[in-house]
Amino acid sequence: MSRQPLRIGLSARLMHSPPAELGFPGKTLQYLEQSMAHWIMSHGALALMVPTIGEHLGLRRAQISVRDYVSSLDGLVLQGGADVSPSTYHEEALRPDWTGDRVRDLYEIELLWEFVIQGKPVLGVCRGAQLINVACGGTLWQDITEYVPGAIAHRSEDLYDRHYHCVDFAPGSRLANLYPERTGGRVNSIHHQAVRELGADLQVEARSAGDGVIEAIRWRGSSYLFGCQWHPEFQRGDGDLLDGSPIMQDFLEAAEHARA
């Protein structure tokens, strides 16, 4: 009998107030970005979105639980999206448009720790990396340009995922070992927030070559917990861009090991 493909959960992006033209007045939409699902699937795993669970939706936790969902999956990818709410790391939003998504924060933090409890790997991308840091007790820069002296541009409204900069790997890190013939690489940069104070038992695995802003982190605890600030799902090693495949392969190997 052939071995079943790995089942990878994708945390949902939340749209609390959909535009009128979508035809869902007063509803909340939960969705995923196509590139992320295809990145997982292109490496031979199934991508399955994990919806939120809440009694306000008429769903009692006695009927279905986060533990039930995690038990049926082999790993979790925390995808990008809205800012992490400053209230989640005990700060006030310095601007009204930086309030983030507290509802999504709580949903993803609960998911993250249930995967850790069950010994299954978690990969965080962009917002997902920031969420990992906050879940471990760390804080964020609410805006890199405004609050990090000498920072390079980490986001371009015009270029979006075609805006790039270089990162340097931490010597001897697991990330560096995934790219044995490189000391870093060129990556996309789509974020305005970033890791400020590291959470408990986290270590830096990469920094921006231009300003030292933290670009990748890994937990030193008992389970696989890694986050990168760039979007590896947008990069397939074209030209001089850092290929995202080794990151996904490493994550899936951890999922396979946890399943064994």
Higher pLDDT, 20 or 3: 20
Residue 93 lies inside a defined structural domain of this protein: yes
Task: Give tens-digit pLDDT for 161-205.
Answer: 899 999 999 999 999 999 999 999 999 999 999 999 999 999 999
Question: pLDDT tens for residues 49-101?
Answer: 999 976 545 445 556 789 999 999 999 999 999 999 999 999 999 999 999 99
In a domain, 185, yes or no: yes
In a domain, 128, yes or no: yes
Q: What is the C-alpha separation between 154 and 161, in angstroms, rounded?
A: 11
Number of domains comprising the chain: 1
Quote the longest CA-to-CA distance of the chain.
Answer: 58
Flag whether 1 is in a domain: no
Between CA 206 and CA 195 the distance in angstroms is 12
Give the span between the Cα atoms of 121 and 112, in whole angstroms.
9
> Is 49 part of any domain?
yes
Q: Which domain holds residue 89?
A: 7-259
pTM for this model (two decimals): 0.95
Q: Is residue 2 part of a domain?
A: no
Question: Whose CA is closest to 217, among 159, 155, 138?
Answer: 138
CATH, residue 210 = 3.40.50.880
- Residues 116-144: tens digit of each pLDDT: 999 999 999 999 999 999 999 999 999 99
Q: Assign 236 a pLDDT band (cuts: 50, 70, 90).
A: confident
Q: What SS3 class is residue 169?
A: strand
pLDDT of residue 213 exceeding 50, the answer is: yes
Q: SS3 string of 203-227?
A: EEEEEECCCCCEEEEEECCCCCEEE
**Catalytically annotated residues:** 126, 231, 233
Number of H helices, E strands in the chain: 7, 13
Neighbours of 57 (CB within 10 A): 10
In a domain, residue 251? The reply is yes
- 20 located within any domain: yes
